[in-house]
Structure 1
Amino acid sequence: MPVLEREQSTNPDTNNGLPKLPVPDLQHTLDMYLKCMKHLVPEEKFRRTKGIVQMFGAPGGVGEMLQQQLHKRRESKANWVYDYWLDDMYLNNRLALPVNSSPVMVFPKQNFKTDSDALRFAAHLISAVLEYKTLLETHALPVDFARGQLAGTPLCMEQYYKLFTSYRLPGPKKDTLVAQKSSVMPEPEHIIVACKNQFFVLDVVINFRRLNEKDLYTQLEKIRKMADNEEERLPPIGLLTSEGRTEWAEARSILIKDSTNRDSLDVIERCLCLVCLDEPSGLQLTDTNRALLMLHGGGPERHGGNRWYDKPMQFVIGSDGCCGVVCEHSPFEGIVLVQCTEYLLKYMKGIPSKLVRAASVSELPAPRRLRWKCSQEIQALLAASADKLHRLAKNLDMNVYKYTKYGKEFIKRQKMSPDAYIQVALQFAYYRCHRRPVSTYESASIRRFQEGRVDNIRSATFEALAFGKAMTDGRSTFSNDEKMKTLQDAINAQTNYTILAITGMAIDNHLLGLREMAMELHMEMPDIFTDETYRVSNQYILSTSQVPTTVDMFCCYGPVVPNGYGVCYNPQSDAILFCVSSFNDSDETCSNTFVKHLEECLLEMESLCRKNSGIASS
């Protein structure tokens, strides 16, 4: 029987030949930290911080001692920062997963004419998932190579092997990322199908035979009919997984007191993935509305209970054509989700559905409805969860915006990195909105190293601020040549920091490692980590990520702080797609206003580039 174990390297082959993540030089990190923060905090606060940092890095001081301990840790671990980073980024975070943590991929809108069309799509998608899983099991997935800066380097593939084998188990203070490990005689593999807030077990291997697409369709039809039976309907237990992590852990501990609930949880926790069959939402399916429906299901009144957020891969198939995947982020990064989902969609497009209209003639056991015993205490917890998800859904302010005046080809013609250019544009837009710079997170892959995940590109550079000021405050006093010089300086600063990050030399993972090592050694926390500047440095008011796709789909996520923006972008040849999120209850943010300023700033940057190159602005 498969068991769930503490997450660890699930496929040692994925690290072969890759170097270990380096530990950056201490003084380099401290100097860079001061450089990154000098223009983000008041001068008096910065002077205090500078003294604290100098004391921390003094010869023979606490910084050097912690640095030595990190070097020892590097010798004994495949990746010295991985566990620290995973806990800090995800497992210690107590916020609810929808909106706050789980990104989504929104598929192209489907034109289903009937409910049967949606089930056919689902059966075809499940077939594609099983094909992809076979690639993973046979180690036939080709190795990824870096693109963009320092292209061509082979990348760690370990994250792919967690797509269908991981589960995020809630805990009272800290979650656990567990990995399914099969014994000699594993149980039949299964997925969970969510339909009308009910959960059903769909075995995809029966009597050692993988179900074909026709069989899968037949089973999905049975599930749809079973879900229609109102007398059999059970409370929407999935709502509990949308709770804060501590609250969900407490509710789970109550649930498992009953053996029926314990068995149902066990089956869900061991499934390959979820397929969520949604009813029509009743909304106009704009890009923005589809993004919202993926992020939170439209709240409990729509599809919010038709989910199980702890599972890494939840494929959503709405009978109105709103489809996508909801991702629990702790096992893998966005690019792995992109590669997987692009494979699935290309497979479905390239290999016609093998489904015929007639139902399967195979004698298949009926899918099983999962049962729940719900005490009054659980009913009260479900009501509280529904209320919180309703408020979370109402609070999310999303704008999916396609900028069509130009795309990455124009930027490349200026001999600039498209990613650096867009990041500078985001800094410019934030400054135009708020007249100040803020700590910014841009994820940078460190998969060049064993078990590499990400570090942070600190895009809020002094040079980007200088450009924003020149284009806003100095609009009439700076010449075009001077403005162009500040733009090129900002692009160069962004590009240089990007190279530091992807080569393991950025500051955030290093500072995190030093802080966690101090905690591990039960030391009094060094002043550098209790200083207000360090708190400001980790308040990512702009949380950004480039998620490029080659098929017609897009990624989005929520903000990571109450007064912040989440900005996911996809540079295309002649357009740039932006997904901008914020919270309605913050009087500091507004997604529509940010998008308006972003469009304005991108136009001004184009005009500046064209004037500089002697091309008349179109």
Structure 2
Amino acid sequence: MAEAHQAVAFQFTVTPEGIDVQLSHQALTEIYRSGVRSWKKRIIRLKNSVITGVYPASPSSWLFVVIAILATMYTRSDPSMGLIAKIQEHIPTMSTQCQAVVSAVLFSTMLWLLLIFTMRLCLKQLLSYHRWMFEQHGKMSNTTKVWVALVRIFSGRKPLLYSYQGSLPNLPVPTIKDTLKRYLESVRPLMDDAQYEHLTNLAAEFENSLGKRLQWYLKLKALWASNYVSDWWEEYIYLRGRNPIMVNSNYYGMDFLYVTPTPIQAARAGNSIHAFFLYRRKLHKEEIKPVSTVIPLCAAQCERIFNTTRTPGEETGKQTDMYTHRDIHNDNMMFLTDSDYIVVYHRGRYFRLRVYQAGRLLSPREIEFQIQRILDDPSPPLKGEAKLGALTAGDRIPWAKARKAYFSSGVNKRSLDYIERAAFFVTLDDDEQGMMGDDPAASLDCYAKSLLHGKCYDRWFDKSFSVVYYKNGKNGINAEHSWADAPVLAHLWEYTLAIDSFQLGYNAEGHCKGDVDSSLPRPQKLSWEIPPECEEQISQSLAVAQALADDVDFHVFSFRDFGKGKIKKCRVSPDAFIQMVLQMAYYRDQTTFCLTYEASMTRLFREGRTETVRSCTNESSAFIRALEVFDREQLLRLLRAALEKHQQLYRLAMTGSGIDRHLFCLYVVSKYLRVDSPFLKEVLSEPWRLSTSQTPVQQAELFDLVNYPEYISCGGGFGPVADDGYGVSYCIVGDDLINFHISCKHSCPNTDAHKFGAQVRQALLDLMQLLNPKQKEPNKTEESRPEIKKDL
């Protein structure tokens, strides 16, 4: 086998004269370069660890403190108040002058460390201040002005990606009383008087009995752990799930909406794969600027972007409860050291493609050359190989059993290890996708479904992310959810799209720029020995996944009549505006209200992930019910109250005073203690029939929307959370465009993604008409790309 020959550094033969050793110069050179590269990475990480460890001070500040203390000694003053003399008494025998210098250096070091600790403690207290979020926009209090100045003073200069990690505050545990009060308020518009009274009684009983005990354990965990929610959230919400992660958990991100930088599939792959590894290099050097709002956000999730795979866990007993440890093994996250290769899927074959040669990253043109080699490879898939990826798309327990039975040794284990240890996964798809053809709206829906589930076997859904390159040059990304939340991957995706188009670019023929080293070793085709029993399991997993994929109804559309620019002119939060629109659309679609989930981040805290904003409120339901009854002035008062309520809930969620993560953790503690709570059981069983999320644009500076208005991404989306509900993702792009991704299930007779999309469009127009009566009635027909470019 070719890979076996490449792995041997020397050969030897036995002759009558003795042993003849033949060293392979090329192999030894590669080993040397690999070692040098490894040590360089260690040195960089050590240097960054030192810089991050002493932040907000700098390593050079130690020298400044030492010189200052030594200078004071020569002026015969003692800033240590006798401590230097005390230290000098315990220094081994040496000259008096040397003892004085050593003791001064030791005192200076201790003083420097104390100053660092004090500065970090002060910065942590400053970052715990969140009152600025609750102040009226444009009106900053004097306290907040002082706070901003102090944050700038204590934040130091040029922070690395992880510099703030040690200074971020821990997520606080809300009081039981506050959480229950806000919870009961959130469900009031969804219940009649009898139901609400019943739930109120359950809540009161819980607060006065079991709740106090569970809260005590939760506070104990909060004192000990960095974040009292995140580890349980990852384990119980994601890794212990036994259903398919395809559609149910994974999400996707789209390419540019109106342009394709090149129609050549291999060239698009060459540029963007190179850009992915440039981002990984910046990530390892911590050169990525910390993401911040007014204050920095936690960057812990960035550590697992690359080289990460979810591996399936097997059921070991009867599954009685998802929170009982003795009954189930959960999935695991495999996070490995840097990989110098990716795994590529094409027409049922898997290839290992090394992107480093002799210690350097291959150029985009060289990666294109290697990808084209895979596209031109005529070899057929091996027996059982073509649809192997379906195992990752089906139920987790069969995949875990198959992995243990058929992939734990031999050639199958080696090939599976290559996939799981790869930096990320790549699919070369034979289909064409994007906004195209006579029906661009329908083509976008097809594009979304392709990115969400593909053919159910041509993605590796367990990888942290898989990149899909289509035949016409379009691309997209599918991400596993347990390791991080969408904004983390979106940051990488924005960077890749921008570098691909605006820095690397293409030549006049559409190929990547640069030259090719034609001596590059060919991509290595992975080998498999799939027995008939495993093929049967692959077929069963594919059937489960295919049924799930066929049931998904998707609708993607762009709303261009107005965007955040016009919304802000009405002195309204764009997010609150869209959430109100979704409430209106759902009520018109279903003639009722429902429990609504809006994802909000808690990355203002260490290891924070998400919290829920319950967007259906008493205020929003009161406004919607009044739409056909009250006059404009009354409606505006109700609308302003509803929008302000939403903003208040969003701020509370971001600052650690949300409802759902607290109740979730109380429920986990109750299961550890093996006690039942009727109240918590009812709370956790409530379905989220409307699940929403905003895809933020985090690096607008990378895209010149003035000169290149067509270079905008359509954002991304996800599958429906409830079988009888909707999943809605929206992306506010620039001042004049809002993209929506709507999903539901065909099997539910009461939901229809296109019908709901029409309700969303109409609600947007109606709400703006209420806020701004001078708004002209737009043309509601679908518009083609030339018209879009003209308007933009």
| 2:389 aligned to which of 238, 243, 257 | 238
Instruction: Measure the CA separation in 2 of the matches of 1:112 and 1:617.
Output: 35
1:363-382, aligned counterparts within 5 Å? 363-382=519-538
Query: Could you say which residue in structure 2 is the equivalent of 1:499?
Result: 651
2:266 matches 1:128 = no
Per-residue deviation, residues 540-590 of structure 1 (Å, max 9, x unmatched): 111100113343231111101111101001123123211111000101211
Query: Could you say which residue in structure 2 is the equivalent of 1:101?
Result: 249
Contact 1:197 1:238 in 2 (8 A): no
> Which stretch shifts more, 593-602 or 489-498?
593-602
1:157-196, aligned counterparts within 5 Å? 157-172=299-314, 173-182=328-337, 189-196=340-347
| 1:351 aligned to which of 503, 515, 531 | 503
The alignment's TM-score, normalised by the length of structure 1, stands at 0.89
| 1:566 aligned to which of 709, 727, 730 | 727
Q: Unaligned stretches of 5+ in structure 1?
A: 3-9, 147-151
Deviation at 1:177, TM superposition (A): 4.0
1:221-370, aligned counterparts within 5 Å? 221-226=372-377, 228-230=378-380, 234-281=385-432, 284=437, 286-297=443-454, 299=455, 304-353=456-505, 360-370=516-526
* Partner SS, residue 401 of structure 2: helix
Deviation at 1:534, TM superposition (A): 4.2
Deviation at 1:113, TM superposition (A): 7.6
2:577 matches 1:421 = yes
Aligned-residue CA RMSD (Å): 2.4
Contact 1:14 1:158 in 2 (8 A): no
> Which stretch shifts more, 213-222 or 118-127?
213-222
Query: Could you say which residue in structure 2 is the equivalent of 1:70?
Result: 218
Instruction: Measure the CA separation in 2 of the matches of 1:111 and 1:348.
Output: 11
Instruction: Measure the CA separation in 2 of the matches of 1:111 and 1:526.
Output: 55
Instruction: Measure the CA separation in 2 of the matches of 1:425 and 1:540.
Output: 17
Compared CA separation, residues 126 and 374, structure 1 to 2 (3 A)? same
* Partner SS, residue 260 of structure 1: helix
Instruction: Measure the CA separation in 1 of the matches of 2:162 and 2:232.
Output: 20
Instruction: Measure the CA separation in 1 of the matches of 2:261 and 2:296.
Output: 40
Letter in 2 for 1:72: L
Compared CA separation, residues 317 and 181, structure 1 to 2 (3 A)? closer
Contact 2:576 2:643 in 1 (8 A): yes
Deviation at 1:511, TM superposition (A): 0.5
Contact 1:414 1:609 in 2 (8 A): yes
1:134-173, aligned counterparts within 5 Å? 134-146=281-293, 152-172=294-314, 173=328
* Partner SS, residue 498 of structure 2: helix
Deviation at 1:405, TM superposition (A): 2.0
Query: Could you say which residue in structure 1 is the equivalent of 2:95?
Result: none
| 1:408 aligned to which of 564, 568, 571 | 564
Ranges of 4+ aligned residues in structure 1 off by more than 6 Å: 354-359
* Partner SS, residue 723 of structure 2: coil
| 1:54 aligned to which of 204, 210, 215 | 204
Deviation at 1:215, TM superposition (A): 2.5
Contact 2:162 2:290 in 1 (8 A): no
User: Matched residue pairs, number?
Assistant: 582
Contact 2:162 2:299 in 1 (8 A): no
| 1:512 aligned to which of 660, 664, 679 | 664
Instruction: Measure the CA separation in 1 of the matches of 2:488 and 2:415.
Output: 29
Contact 2:186 2:617 in 1 (8 A): yes
Deviation at 1:596, TM superposition (A): 1.6
Letter in 1 for 2:300: E
Query: Could you say which residue in structure 2 is the equivalent of 1:449?
Result: 605
Query: Could you say which residue in structure 2 is the equivalent of 1:89?
Result: 237
Query: Could you say which residue in structure 1 is the equivalent of 2:117?
Result: none
Deviation at 1:178, TM superposition (A): 2.2
Instruction: Measure the CA separation in 1 of the matches of 2:355 and 2:513.
Output: 20
2:641 matches 1:489 = yes
Instruction: Measure the CA separation in 2 of the matches of 1:246 and 1:176.
Output: 10
Deviation at 1:326, TM superposition (A): 0.6
Instruction: Measure the CA separation in 2 of the matches of 1:592 and 1:84.
Output: 36
Instruction: Measure the CA separation in 2 of the matches of 1:601 and 1:294.
Output: 28
Instruction: Measure the CA separation in 2 of the matches of 1:240 and 1:579.
Output: 27
Instruction: Measure the CA separation in 2 of the matches of 1:231 and 1:526.
Output: 54
Identity rate, percent: 28
Contact 2:268 2:473 in 1 (8 A): no
Query: Could you say which residue in structure 2 is the equivalent of 1:26?
Result: 176
Contact 1:91 1:174 in 2 (8 A): no
Per-residue deviation, residues 289-340 of structure 1 (Å, max 9, x unmatched): 211111111x3xxxx3221000011111001233101111111111112211
* Partner SS, residue 772 of structure 2: helix
The alignment's TM-score, normalised by the length of structure 2, stands at 0.70
Deviation at 1:30, TM superposition (A): 0.8
Q: Comparing both chains, which one has the higher relative contact order based on Cα–Cα distances under 8 Å and sequence gaps of 6 or more?
A: 1
* Partner SS, residue 131 of structure 1: helix
1:523-562, aligned counterparts within 5 Å? 523-531=674-682, 533-536=683-686, 539-549=687-697, 550=700, 551-562=712-723
Per-residue deviation, residues 201-254 of structure 1 (Å, max 9, x unmatched): 11122332322223322222222233x322757332111111122232222222
Contact 2:349 2:382 in 1 (8 A): no
Instruction: Measure the CA separation in 2 of the matches of 1:42 and 1:373.
Output: 61
Per-residue deviation, residues 318-366 of structure 1 (Å, max 9, x unmatched): 0123310111111111111221111111111222348668973352222
Compared CA separation, residues 52 and 208, structure 1 to 2 (3 A)? same
Contact 1:127 1:212 in 2 (8 A): yes
Instruction: Measure the CA separation in 1 of the matches of 2:576 and 2:409.
Output: 54
Instruction: Measure the CA separation in 2 of the matches of 1:382 and 1:127.
Output: 33
> Which stretch shifts more, 379-388 or 265-274?
379-388
